[in-house]
Structure 1
Amino acid sequence: MEFLQANLDYLVLGTLGLMSFIMLALVIERYLYLNRVKVQQFDHIETLKIDLTRNLTTISSIGSNAPYVGLLGTVLGILVTFYTMGQGGKIEVHTIMLGLALALKATAAGLLVAIPAILFYNGLLRKVEVLTACWQAWKDGKGA
């Protein structure tokens, strides 16, 4: 329990920081790729879709799972707070409130990672839809 008490913030916030770093790196890579891709170089719609949607699943997964990582940190923080109170034998309101407030920062951090990830994912998905429509329009015009 002492290990968890001493390292909980580092574990949860470190995990969320890593998730955020990975998400931002993939978002930048996707935006750069989608801005320079030439849809005319693809002969088949499915190969285009595979290329355009690469790494979007990871971005979406980070966005959907970051709140759970934060919630896990909050639950463990509350557990540590109650354990520490039980060990001390005294119940002091300010100790409880401080422990709970510190535990809730993990949930807030999880949301701070998740919200931009989902916004970026939706923006990238829209760009994929537009590029796919451009390919279809180009293919229809080429065949006519």
Structure 2
Amino acid sequence: MILDLLAPTLDFAGDTDRLNPLRLFLEADIVVQAIMFGLLLASVWVWTIIITFSLRIGGVNRRCGEYERGFWEAENFETFQKQRGRGDVPMGKVAGAGLAEWRRNAQLRTLDPEGARQRIALAMNSSVGEEADLLSNRLNFLATVGSVAPFVGLFGTVWGIMNSFFQIGQQQNSSLAVVAPGISEALFATAIGLFAAIPAVIAYNRFSHRVNMVEGRLQRFADKLHMALTRQLESR
């Protein structure tokens, strides 16, 4: 087995008095091993989300900034939207929803200004909500790991300690040398649970704040566009 081959290499130059995480994993009970392995997988997925989300939110802010600057400088909103509003630009999708509703109201024979204002606002607010939901789609996994992983690790610890006490009964020997290895392996499960949970909680709080900032930026853009479009409708 690959892990069995790697374990001796992690003895830190033959110093067996130092903690060897891999050996703790290999010598643990099968239930504790399964819990550790699951927590390690969760930790890998957490860091994958952290890296990909950081890149994604940075790209979203950059694209929205470029789009917004060009949008307000354009002479014609619809022409600009056709040229630059395509692709993964949340602000472009919000503008597209507002402009589409504006066109539908402008084509009505009898215009109801108040109803038009409400419909345009609802269209853009709905788009803002959809974009915020898409951004935060994978953050629920961070919240789940952050709240559940310590308890999963604790379950592994409890199971390992129960197994250690069982070994005391089997060997009729309560010396610390008998139970210490099993307890160390059990506590290692809690350590891995915390290793997975702490980054998940920090990342969830940070990324939730950044999603809220993007949502607020989209909402402010929608409000400004709503004022511009309703002024055009009322000037007919």
TM-score, length-scaled by structure 2: 0.56
Instruction: Quote the sequence identity (%).
Output: 28
Correspondence 1:42 to 2:125: no
Q: Deviations over 1:18-55 (max 9, x none)?
A: 00011111222222211112331232122112111110
CA apart distance, 1:65: 1.1
Q: What are structure 2's unaligned runs of at least 5 residues?
A: 1-26, 65-89, 95-126, 228-236
Query: Quick one: distance in 2 between partners of 1:130 and 1:75?
Result: 42
1:86-105 equivalences in 2 (<5 Å): 86-105=169-188
1:70 aligns to what? 153
Higher helix share: 1
Q: Partner amino acid for 1:84?
A: Q
CA apart distance, 1:127: 0.4
Structure index of larger Rg: 2
Count of aligned pairs between the two proteins: 141
Aligned-pair Cα RMSD in Å: 1.8
The change in CA–CA distance for 1:5 and 1:131 in structure 2 (over 3 A counts) is: closer
CA apart distance, 1:9: 4.4
Structure 2 counterpart SS, 1:54: coil
The change in CA–CA distance for 1:120 and 1:53 in structure 2 (over 3 A counts) is: same
Runs of 4+ deviating beyond 4 Å: none
TM-score, length-scaled by structure 1: 0.88
Structure 2 counterpart SS, 1:91: coil
Q: Partner amino acid for 1:111?
A: L
* 1:83 paired residue among 144, 166, 177: 166
Query: Quick one: distance in 2 between partners of 1:123 and 1:5?
Result: 35
Structure 2 counterpart SS, 1:105: helix
